Amino acid sequence: MVILLGVIDVSVFLLRRKFQAINESVRSPSYSTQALKLPEFDPVLDAIHRQGLYHDFKYSGRNSSSAVLAVRKKEFRAKDLLAANEYESLYCFLHKMRMEGRLEDEFDTLKSWVERAPAEKPFSWWQQGYFLSYIYETYLEPAGQSLKNSQYGRARWLAIEAAKRVRMVNMRASSNPELRNGYNQVLLTEALLWQPKVSFGHPREIGILFDIVDSDFDKSHFEELSKLAVDPDIAPLRSYWLGVYEFRSKNLPAALDYFKAASGVHENPKLKNLALLMQARCLFWIQNNTDTNSNATGGTVPNNLNSAATIQRLEELMPGIDETSYRDAVQYYIEELKRSRA
């Protein structure tokens, strides 16, 4: 009996060992977090690696996603490639393009998806959110990390690529504040990193300004920003950033002054354009608030004289703006003011 029990014990022990080994192999961290085991290297390549390598490029599902099917109907550079394989999602295809360094193809594919014909379904807010998060993860975040690695030329290039893509969709008029903020963040980052030599010469200051944009102008950074040394290279950026703080706290005249100071810079056309647009916004809202107040206090006719002066000032801003979408926005303000005068 003792021997029998011994035999049973040994077999149970061996079986338990066997099952434990199988369980351990399934739970093994090497299975689920293989990518994490690779040492960190370069932020841009890390981002590509993180997002791209996990995609199933040999997608064996039944059909491609609806976005892929929609894009296939259009004409663009990488059309043949997209038609040759099934892709789980369009982003999967875009990541593949990025991994292969075919950025122009990636840009073209993204453009053909985003720029829809009027008959098609509009680019919904959640699709815009995905689009924005794609740009943030693939371009903007690595730009910030490149900045920390003193790769100022690369950071500029990434910011420009991000802005080039984000301009495909005008989210400035979106009803979703997060989309608007994300859109502005990309454009501001581009303006901030436009001059790599300024970034090289003032790494600390540019780092602070970048963090402020990244935190969506969190008030905790305001003190740090105010203390920044007024260097001729940094002054326009600092003024713009302070202007945004004032604009957000609805102190429009002060914001207007800051934006005026920021628009004097000629080496940075992106910042200049943004500053001129913000000036136009400040002027419009100052005028609009005056009109609303005078209406509220019983005035029947808005202050036409002031309104005319504002329209004139807005028209004076127009020639300095190069970006079409900004010019359109200023034109819209002018027409709105004219309509309210009529």
Partner 1 sequence: MKQKVGLFAAGVSAALAVIGALSPERVENLRLDFALFLVRQLRFEIGIILIIGILIAIPKTLKTRILARVTRNFPTFKGRPREDKFVFVIILILVLFIPLINTPFLLYEGLRATFTRVSFYRAWLYSSYRQELFREGLAREGAGDSHKALYYYRRIIQFFPDDPRNSLVQHKIDYVENQIKYAGTYVERSMSLEKRQGLRRQSFFLLVEGLRLDPTNDYVRNEVRTRIAKLSNENTPLEFFNAYKSKDEAKAQRLLNEWGWYLFEDDFTKGIGVGQPTNNPVDIWKEYSFIAGLTAEEFHSAVKKSWELENARKVLEWSTSLVGPNG
Minimum CB distance to partner 1, residue 228 (Å): 14
Please give the DSSP secondary-structure letter assigned to residue 319.
Answer: G
Using alpha carbons, select from 203, 272, 190 the residue that is nearest to residue 231: 203
CA distances from 63 to 45, 67, 81 (A): 30, 11, 16
Residue with tokens 């998060």, as numbered in its chain:
133
Q: Would you count residue 14 as binding partner 1 (CB under 8 A)?
A: no
* Per-residue mark of binding to partner 1, 73-112 (x: CB under 8 A): --------------------------xxx-----------
Nearer to partner 1, 4 or 305 (CB): 4
Nearer to partner 1, 15 or 83 (CB): 15
Nearer to partner 1, 38 or 308 (CB): 38
Minimum CB distance to partner 1, residue 49 (Å): 8
Nearer to partner 1, 152 or 258 (CB): 152
Q: Would you count residue 22 as binding partner 1 (CB under 8 A)?
A: yes
Minimum CB distance to partner 1, residue 313 (Å): 35
Q: Are 146 and 155 a contacting pair, CB within 8 Å?
A: yes
Q: Would you count residue 288 as binding partner 1 (CB under 8 A)?
A: no
* Burial group, residue 279, by CB count within 10 angstroms (0-12, 13-18, 19+): buried
Q: CB within 8 A of 155, min separation 6: which ones?
A: 143, 144, 146, 147, 193, 196, 199
What's the rounded Cα separation, in Å, for the pair 259 and 278? Answer: 7
What's the rounded Cα separation, in Å, for the pair 158 and 164? Answer: 10
- Looking only at residues 217 through 276 of this chain, which bind partner 1 when binding is defined by CB under 8 A? 231, 233
Stretch that binds partner 1, among 111-119, 196-204, 236-244, 245-253 (CB under 8 A): 196-204
Nearer to partner 1, 53 or 308 (CB): 53
- Considering only residues 20, 150, 215, 312, which one is a binding residue for partner 1 as defined by CB under 8 A? 150
